[in-house]
Structure 1
């Protein structure tokens, strides 16, 4: 073994965002430092360091002189061929006492929130400690003061943009509604009216598509801060992936564990949304909140609480926040999946006759509210102004210009395999489980396969005849298509037709 450390080896193991290091159990480093499996270790090389979870190996996969790195750890350390890895013990995670205090009912004061967010940002929390933090905040356990403290701490942990404008517009959808891809329609309408709208969007975590996934089938979205600023200064707006700019980076780490645990925190949701808006330099934000039995916000009572916290926390952070409550009973548009949603967006922007009317109307309502919030449309006149921008072609021209500035407009891909599901009897489309619909699209391959997903042929209340198409599943491989259809056979609640009684 080299005196100055171990030889780095890239093992190609995807551990998502969690850095993981691998050592032989009989490694001299393990013996000398007392490391065991699941120990937290500091790995350093070339002046860079990361805190990782240690996995130990009992086979010859690694030599005693080697240390393996997961993909996440390798990206963070970027070891050069002549560099060696050094291992040491990280300092104790002192903010865990604040997490334990919250678990036992002690409020999170601002200093405690800063300590927790700082340690998460620095990678000091193992997943089990992150799980404890998420559990401590779950449900409605955070009050307004705690939400504001966490929001401020999350903003301060990342970069913050300043556009030098008194009004910088933004929007966010709380989520839970497949196909509700209004952002690529709203941004060009707002930007063509002279307002600034630098939109950072997320990729899917558990859904069939995020806005960034859909937009990526139309134009590059992996712009850094400099590239984002160039596009916005040139066109007045952009639609880029938030992960390529360091805005509220702690949020992505927390969301990863929330999703794994299937735990929702209303307060953490507010901090997540608003920390990214503040960091992006926004001054005025419209939040779209779909409410429905299978949406993320399931009832009016939860919607009312969230609206109060969003508006009040926004005010404390210097943001003007408006909440728009929308119908979350069924999926929006026809396509569910990145490329299929992109085709709906193009149809709306190009004013085609086959454009999904519900997506068009939702986007126009939201754009109209933002135009009013931004002061370029009088109260009550925003919807008409947004509609004129779309009908005249100005929105389409601006969208194309934004895509060209981001790297060029392209055609969404088309899946190789399709299967159409048809009605078995006369009747009325009576129920749509949006969660099951989303899962079906994911099992077909979305969003990893951008062309995968499904296309709806009906809406709630539609009358159908035997053999009429209900939806078509799109997949890149035969295996993915069959996997999705197997799920559908056991989950008929995805979309049900109430049979006529004769």
Structure 2
């Protein structure tokens, strides 16, 4: 028996326990660092699995104590000093299935159910989760396996129901900085009267996700009950899916994908559809940007991904339409949560300096979603969406949603460090490297530092002179500022040519 202690360390989606090296239990039972242990309460049925770390510092843990990270302590639900039992945890049965996937075998539905169950119960360390993700990415998943993984992820958490109503949603597969169309589409659709319970992830490999950006305006970590209340009152919401326990295994997988910068197509399909089905969506519009520095480089890749979405969607009873869009450059001007939120509000307020590409793309996508409504004739959606935006109804609806979800309580430090990236030659902007601009914005501190990022002053086709500012880098801390500006000095991500490029098409298919 050991005394329970909360160690105020956020280990982000991983249960971690801390044991003193001089603890008699450590010496007698052969515990080792990074092994998994099972912690249980005496005369209780509550147990928690955690990865063990060994501590040498008496100020952290005494020899008769067991420390738990923030998440693990909350899961166990006991008071400080409570007596707990510790034992080696059994190895996850499903690891044998992971090894089969590493060897290139195709797994049945039962294997994915076992794997996701063990991950949800914290029986996997992050190393073991990484092995599963790499196996799925390297060996690839057959379309049936993507279906099984999606079903298992949906079953891992709660599922919202809206009483058989038409429930719409929209999702972009990512890879394009800015591109914050969702935050404009949701209030437009909700103002029309259609249900759009939008749950979003935080950034995986990008400088901001929709949840990160919406968090500048409203609380996004709201409960299922709060979600349902907001939807019933205002038809729409913009929330983070993590606290609502919708497909929670997906959030655990994302916590490992983020530091590895992994985002395989099969995992992407399962992740997106699991969240949408758990949120109760019946109709879904998928935006797949295509471009040389986008996540998807060629139309043929996009068509293959489209078929995967449609295959899984058909079998899970969700209607899916896929639109291929031009992903040759960032959408909007800001890259980073605060800068992207600024662009969104400019569009909703119909300001003259609102980014035209963000406005137009949002209206086109919103128009297609409006045509899911049987009362809207094909081809009329765009005009309806434009009228909702220009009349101010979309802005009013967004303000309603913000009030209902609750305005953010946290104050974020402003970006006091600013650097101007200038053109070294005259000409026309031919290309903008999405990956490079996203990397620069991330090095500047986004999305952790909400006001950090990149603000574009020139887009493809613009004429520039030598010394003209292409974009500004914003950072809150000197080290981030130095990293970002040094990368921009090596390669600023802009291609300048003497002749103007051809006018790009916003939608490919």
Partner of 1:172: 171
Q: Deviations over 1:315-371 (max 9, x none)?
A: 101100111111111011001111110110011011111010000011111101111
Q: Residue 3 of structure 2 is aligned with which of 6, 21, 36? A: 6
Shift in Å at residue 59 of structure 1? 4.3
What is the match of residue 318 of structure 1? Answer: 317
Q: Report 1:231-242 matches (<5 A).
A: 231-242=230-241
Aligned to 1:17: 13
Measure the CA separation in 2 of the matches of 1:124 and 1:431. 46
Cross-structure match for 2:55: 57
Which stretch shifts more, 186-195 or 203-212?
A: 203-212
Cα drift, residue 246 of structure 1: 0.1
Cα 1:89/1:435, change in 2 over 3 Å: same
Q: Is structure 2 residue 302 aligned with structure 1 residue 303?
A: yes
- Which residue matches 1:157? 156
Contact 1:6–1:86, Cα closer than 8 Å, also in 2: no
| Alpha-carbon distance change, 334 to 412 in structure 1, aligned in 2, over 3 angstroms | farther
Task: Spell out, residue by residue over 1:47-76, the C-alpha distance to the aligned partner (whole angstroms, 9 max, x if none).
Answer: 533211111234434321122223332343
Residue 93 of structure 1 is matched in structure 2 by 92
RMSD: 2.1
Tell me by how many angstroms 1:248 deviates: 0.4
Distance 1:252 1:461 in 2: 39
Q: C-alpha separation between the residues in 1 aligned to 2:471 and 2:394?
A: 30
Once the two structures are TM-superposed, the CA of residue 233 in structure 1 deviates from its matched residue by 0.4
Report what 1:277 is aligned to: 276
Farther off after superposition, 389-398 or 68-77: 68-77
User: Which runs of no fewer than 5 residues in structure 2 stay unpaired?
Assistant: 500-509
Q: Given that residues 108 and 145 in structure 2 are in contact (C-alpha distance below 8 angstroms), is that contact kept between their aligned partners in structure 1? A: yes
Q: Provide, for residues 151-170 of structure 1, a one-character-per-residue CA deviation record: whole Å limited to 9, x for no partner.
A: 11111110011011331011
Change (3 A) 1:316 1:422: same
* Deviates further, 389-398 or 471-480: 471-480
Contact 1:421 1:471 in 2 (8 A): yes
Which deviations, in whole Å up to 9, do the C-alpha atoms of 1:120-162 show, x marking residues without a partner?
Answer: 1111112222122112211572112111111111111100110
TM-aligned CA deviation for residue 28 of structure 1? 1.8
Aligned to 1:42: 38
Task: Please report how far the alpha carbon of residue 292 of structure 1 lies from its aligned counterpart in structure 2 after TM superposition.
Answer: 1.4
Matched residue, 1:415: 415
Is 2:238 aligned against 1:258? Answer: no
**Which segment is superposed worse, 50-59 or 152-161?**
50-59
Gap change, CA 1:136 and 1:408, over 3 Å in 2: closer
Post-superposition shift, 1:312?
A: 1.1
Question: Are the equivalent residues in 1 in contact too, given 2:4–2:79 (CA < 8 A)?
Answer: no
Cα separation, 2, equivalents of 1:288 and 1:460: 21
> Partners in 2 of 1:32 and 1:173 — Cα distance?
54
Which shows bigger deviation, 59-68 or 326-335?
Answer: 59-68
Distance 1:361 1:291 in 2: 17
Q: Tell me which residue corresponds to 1:489.
A: 489
Change (3 A) 1:256 1:302: farther
When residues 55 and 414 of structure 1 are mapped into structure 2, their CA distance, relative to the original with a 3 A threshold, is closer
Mark the CA change 1:111 to 1:395 in structure 2 (over 3 Å): closer, same or farther: same
The 5-angstrom pairing of residues 132-147 of structure 1 reads 132-139=131-138, 141-147=140-146
Aligned to 1:131: 130
TM-score w.r.t. structure 1 length? 0.94
Are 2:373 and 1:374 aligned? Answer: yes
| Secondary structure of 2:418 counterpart | strand
Which is worse superposed, 26-35 or 297-306?
26-35
Aligned equivalent of 2:24:
28
Which stretch of the first structure deviates more once superposed, 307-316 or 137-146? Answer: 137-146
- Indicate yes or no: 2:452 matched with 1:452: yes
Question: Residue deviations 1:244-278, cap 9 Å, x none?
Answer: 21000101122232333444432221111101111
Q: Matched residues in 2 for 1:424 and 1:107: separation? A: 53
Query: CA separation of 1:25/1:51 partners in 2, compared to 1, >3 Å: closer, same or farther?
Result: same
Q: Which runs of 5+ in 1 are unaligned?
A: none
C-alpha contact 1:339 1:413 (8 A) present in aligned 2: no
Answer whether contact 2:413 2:476 (CA < 8 A) is retained.
no
Contact 2:196 2:236 in 1 (8 A): yes
Q: Which runs of 4+ in 1 moved over 6 A?
A: 409-413
In the TM superposition, what whole-angstrom CA distance separates every residue of 1:453-501 from its partner, at most 9, and x where no partner exists?
1110001121101232111112223443233212222333x2233368x
Contact 2:49 2:89 survives alignment (8 Å) = yes
Distance 2:193 2:307 in 1: 30
Measured in 2, the distance between the counterparts of 1:207 and 1:139 equals: 22
Matched positions, count: 496
**Map 1:187-226 → 2, pairs under 5 A:** 187-226=186-225
Once the two structures are overlaid, the 10-residue window that deviates more, 66-75 or 403-412, is: 403-412
Whole-Å Cα distance in 2 between the matches of residues 92 and 112 of structure 1?
16
Match in the other structure for 1:186 = 185
Shift of 1:17: 1.5
**Paired residues of 1:441 and 1:453 also in contact (CA < 8 A):** yes
Going from structure 1 to structure 2, the CA distance change for 1:355 and 1:461 (only over 3 Å counts) comes to: same
- Contact between 2:215 and 2:408, CA under 8 Å: does it hold in 1? no
